[in-house]
Amino acid sequence: MASNGSKTQASPPPQGIYVPSPTFFVAEGTSSYNTTSPPLDLETQSKHSLFLVEGGVRGLVLLGSTGEAIFIKPEERVQLLKSQRKALDDAGFKDRPIIAGTATQNIDETLQLIKESKDAGAEYAMVLSPGYFAPATSQSGIAKWFTQVADRSPLPVMIYHYPGVTNNLFIAPSTFEQLAAHPNIVGTKLSHGIIDDQALIAASPKIDHEHFYVFTGLGQNLLPVLAIGGVAAIDGLAGVFPRVVVRLFDMFNQSLAKGMSKKDMDEMRLLQFRICEGEKLVARWGVVGMKEACDRIWGLGSRTGGRLPLAGGFEEGDGEWSKWSKVFEGLKDLENQFKSEDTKGK
């Protein structure tokens, strides 16, 4: 990998579906719970991580937006990363990389978090763009900021472009073309639905796509993004139904290799439709919805485990879950069907 100005070209993460994992906290009513900062629930975190990789997920993104990174203390970041690296390694999944998120505005602080993440077992850093002064930030300023980080980062860097949490900071495709040439910048997660901009990055002839991978942050865009040159998704719904999202990724690549038929495309479109139905919950409720679904569907974690202002899950009696339960029960059946098929195929 490149660091401290080295010109060695880093490698992107392996292609496949990644999950921006929620950070699990102990639930209300437990002895260690407190309303200000409920402790990490590392036991549930590890159960969830293994549930994902056993379902075919290629790796984990920890401490991203879904991981509530802005609520996590520095020492907790280290605990979380170390515990999940150990959980994966002990279970025989040493080949599943961990991508650690950073969400700071300051270059030196970002680099410190990356160093600590590397020491704790992360293989890549997913760096959120600095959006506090978004209206006054130029494309040149964005490019210089990421270049400074990448020049000194001890881990390969992925650019995290999520206008929804960065004051609508916009990174132009031309800026991505410039940054993609950096030897220590290896990809991006695009968490927006502007499909033409995604095409201008994922299909750009000015980018070396063997070195710079484009991941959509929206599973509802997986099939179209694969078609325009993206490699996969870092997707929230896969945190509840990993096999469902992985199946679409596998179907596309397998059909592409053998020669895609109309039947293949029809099946992929139908699966993409099912994914889009479930993604509506993730788009509306984010990590709150993911934790709600993990608890209600699989009994993983607690929907009341969170840090303010996100603590508490859906309000009891407001009927919110009933709006989603039919879709999610259908996806659960599909997940179990794919699990059964996978087991028979081994």
User: Which among 18, 118, 162, 189 is annotated as catalytic?
Assistant: 189
Is the omega angle on the peptide bond into residue 309 within 30 degrees of 0, that is, cis?
A: yes
- Residue whose tokens read 């950096």: 182
**Residue type at 47?**
K
Q: How far apart are CA 66 and CA 133, in angstroms?
A: 22
Alpha carbons within 13 angstroms on the beta-carbon side of residue 329 total 6
CA distance 234 to 239: 10
Taking the C-alpha atoms of residue 102 and residue 296, their distance in angstroms, rounded to an integer, is: 30
Residue 216 · residue 188 · CB < 8 Å: no
What letter does residue 66 receive in the DSSP assignment? T
The sheet with strand 213-216 has its strands ordered as 18-20, 59-62, 98-102, 124-128, 157-161, 185-190, 213-216, 232-233
Which of 182, 155, 47 minimizes the C-alpha distance to 97? 155
Q: Does 189 participate in catalysis according to the annotation?
A: yes
Question: How are beta strands 18-20 and 124-128 bridged, if at all?
Answer: unpaired
Residue of 124, 160, 162, 213 marked active site: 160
Active site residue 33: no
| Contact present, 334 and 55 (Cβ < 8 Å) | no
Total residues belonging to the chain: 346
Cα separation of 210 and 63, whole Å? 26
Residues forming the active site:
160, 189
